């Protein structure tokens, strides 16, 4: 059984397994609205995890491009103009913050 609160339109705005003061009714765990609520919460959580992962991968790719260009493996001019412009903007922002050394956490564990 779940305790729920609805908005003025009758849509669920809060679902809890324990009673709370604002709860207006209870619904069984197999009720379609409860199932939808938790399915949406799972999707939202997955999207948040992907977004965080995207931010982390952007840093990895940015660092990788920086290393490859410094070693002469690729040139910035090998990349499309839009990518070059974005990299230049990021490089300027990073330099303003102290360069690569401030963005890499040496205590981080992982594959890279």
- Is 1 part of a structural domain of the chain? no
pLDDT of residue 23: 94
Give the CA distances from residue 81 to residues 30, 73, 91, 106, 110, in Å, rounded to whole numbers and listed in that order: 54, 18, 15, 32, 32
The DSSP H or E segment spanning 72 is none
pLDDT of residue 55: 86
pLDDT of residue 27: 93
- Is 7 part of a structural domain of the chain? no
Question: How many domains are contained in the chain?
Answer: 1
What is the pTM assigned to this prediction? 0.47
- Is 88 part of a structural domain of the chain? yes
pLDDT of residue 97: 80
Domain hosting residue 71, numbered range? 48-106
Sheet with 25-27, edge to edge strand ranges: 12-16, 2-6, 25-27
Three-class secondary structure of residue 65 per DSSP: helix
pLDDT tens string for the chain (112 positions)?
Answer: 999 999 999 999 999 999 999 999 999 999 999 999 888 888 888 888 988 898 889 889 988 998 999 999 999 899 999 999 998 898 888 788 875 555 555 555 555 5
- Is 85 part of a structural domain of the chain? yes
pLDDT of residue 41: 85
| Rounded distance between C-alpha atoms, residue 85 and residue 81, angstroms | 6
Q: Calculate the CA 53 to chain-centre distance.
A: 6
- Is 99 part of a structural domain of the chain? yes
As given in the structure block, the two tokens for residue 85 are: 């412009």
| Rounded distance between C-alpha atoms, residue 40 and residue 71, angstroms | 46
- Is 67 part of a structural domain of the chain? yes
- Is 65 part of a structural domain of the chain? yes
pLDDT of residue 31: 94
- Is 24 part of a structural domain of the chain? no
């Amino acid at each position: 059984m779940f305790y729920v609160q609805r908005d003025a339109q009758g849509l669920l705005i809060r679902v809890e397994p324990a009673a709370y003061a604002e709860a207006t009714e209870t619904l069984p765990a197999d009720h379609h609205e409860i199932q939808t609520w938790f399915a949406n919460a799972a999707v939202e959580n997955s999207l948040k995890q992907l977004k965080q992962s995207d931010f982390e991968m952007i840093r990895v790719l940015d660092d990788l491009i920086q290393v490859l260009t410094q070693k002469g493996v690729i040139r910035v001019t090998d990349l499309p103009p839009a990518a070059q412009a974005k990299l230049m903007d990021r490089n300027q922002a990073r330099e303003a913050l102290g360069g690569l050394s401030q963005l890499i956490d040496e205590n981080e564990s992982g594959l890279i």
